[in-house]
Structure 1
């Protein structure tokens, strides 16, 4: 009698409904939140969709946009930089101070960016070479750099920023703020590069499996240090722009910015465990967060309660991200 070999192929495990819901929230949560916020505010606040309000929201997002770009790249590689708010303040106020002393504007910008690059390099080298957890380390640099920013603010007490310094963030092209135009162009360029550039896509591989990336010859340490430097430079550039929006130095400039940026990046789909994230999604999430805060202000919600709500959003999305990561492992 002929013998037949029977191969049994096991069906792939079914995805639990709970995990499917979590994945849906991770992938499309930002779209759901955006839709609900826009519908609610447009129904109950007639002036929400006004040109003035939307353009004001876009303008604010276009200034902090640079911070979320650097933050997203770091998250993709599995790192976090919580010093961005302090770098933002120190670089911006230092550049503003130099401008009041008659230093050329371009040199003020260079000095501001150099401060951001230096802090980023310190963060990167210490995290990579000493294997220090990036969250713990950058909390330390957050405090140290914030102290320096407070010193600059004290030196600037009673002084006003120069007119040429304050004019930069208000430049317009055909009636539209140049920062908004640059934001849209930058997002488009980065999305194109990230989808086609092999070198840039390597950061996803590093975030997903750094040991494997190292075995395959990738300069994992160099990428990570570069990510911290980029984060510092972009935070410094944003600070340069934001400092010029006001007449005098603001000692509270950039405080808690890092948590809003972290919330936006993770809400946009980036993972605290690395390997995921898109600049486009982080930018949209930053806008959605601005919409939510704008709505809370329109309804007269106290600033303290606003922070409670933002904190609750951050906790919720971190819980979702953590549960998905544990199930995938």
Structure 2
């Protein structure tokens, strides 16, 4: 109820709503004073460039979690899309075809996830856990378990190239985030995603085609994984079935850290992207300051737990 929310201390409400931005600022300021190597254009652009694929996946994954679902298959979709692109490039020499195939394959695999969840009425956690195993096996079959090296001319331009002094993956990230941000916050489809995650039964009664929304959010998640795969495989000029291992958990962690509710109905694309780069800054700080790398996961985990606890307190006090 609005009245009960108003009773919640305003400073804590602001801390809850903008916790990820506050932490970003705090970490940035600390690292800027701790090391002169941190706050440089080269270092900051490298952080953006290296984490662009994960940020793209997290931005699209926000739709899935806001809709009240989970996608545990993004790393496997990423693997299939990347090895398929590498195989096509090495077999045909057609760079444009190979890199364009990755998003298309990701879209198709994501759509399969959505159809399985809706048609078979299986919980998305279990459905995408199963599909991740299937897709991982498919990536191994495509490569025969071996590394596919690409030597086709121009294949690395997408992943390593620059435009106006900025890496191309950063431009792709900016375009994808802007588009997804608008799609979630400024369109009817976005409102339907929130409605589905808030209360699927009520949304359906009010005319929202819930199953179609679910299919579309999983399709979008797969498409994003394919775009990320195209960038990553172009950057390293090779495809391997283990590519992206653990990426799905990193993306979910960033989304939750950003303030998107695991219960659905609450979230924003910018929050998830901020979550990705908060984790990236922590990792970068450990490298620059030469801290014990074994403590990095501990610090990241504590921050995520704190963010989830803050969100839970805000939800129970409303």
TM range (shorter): 0.7 to 0.9
Determine the C-alpha separation between the residues in 1 that align with 2:143 and 2:295.
Answer: 28
Determine the C-alpha separation between the residues in 2 that align with 1:247 and 1:38.
Answer: 32
Q: Do the aligned partners of 1:161 and 1:249 also contact (CA within 8 Å) in 2? A: no
2:42 to 33, 38, 52: 52
CA shift in 2, pair 1:252/1:313, >3 Å: farther
CA shift in 2, pair 1:185/1:325, >3 Å: same
Q: Do the aligned partners of 2:59 and 2:180 also contact (CA within 8 Å) in 1? A: no
1:131 to 121, 125, 129: 121
Q: Do the aligned partners of 1:187 and 1:279 also contact (CA within 8 Å) in 2? A: yes
Partner of 2:172, secondary structure, is helix
The TM-score normalised by the length of structure 1 is 0.85
The residue that corresponds to 2:231 in the other structure is 241
Q: Do the aligned partners of 2:110 and 2:218 also contact (CA within 8 Å) in 1? A: yes
The residue that corresponds to 1:206 in the other structure is 196
1:275 to 262, 265, 276: 265
Which has the higher Rg, Structure 1 or Structure 2?
A: 1
The residue that corresponds to 2:137 in the other structure is 147
The TM-score normalised by the length of structure 2 is 0.88
Determine the C-alpha separation between the residues in 2 that align with 1:184 and 1:167.
Answer: 18
1:286 to 250, 255, 276: 276
1:277-299, CA deviations, whole angstroms, 9 ceiling, x for partnerless residues?
A: 11122222212221111112223
Determine the C-alpha separation between the residues in 2 that align with 1:187 and 1:325.
Answer: 27
- Could you list the runs of 5+ residues in structure 2 that have no partner in the other structure? none
The residue that corresponds to 1:27 in the other structure is 17
Q: Aligned runs of 1:193-272 on 2, under 5 Å? A: 193-250=183-240, 252-272=242-262
User: Is structure 2 residue 68 aligned with structure 1 residue 78?
Assistant: yes
Offset at residue 83 of structure 1 (A): 1.0
Determine the C-alpha separation between the residues in 2 that align with 1:227 and 1:206.
Answer: 11
Offset at residue 176 of structure 1 (A): 1.6
Deviation larger for 303-312 or 26-35: 303-312
- Could you list the runs of 5+ residues in structure 1 that have no partner in the other structure? 1-10
The residue that corresponds to 2:159 in the other structure is 169
CA shift in 2, pair 1:90/1:175, >3 Å: same
Partner of 1:165, secondary structure, is coil
CA shift in 2, pair 1:84/1:48, >3 Å: same
Question: How many residues are paired up?
Answer: 317
Q: Do the aligned partners of 1:119 and 1:229 also contact (CA within 8 Å) in 2? A: yes
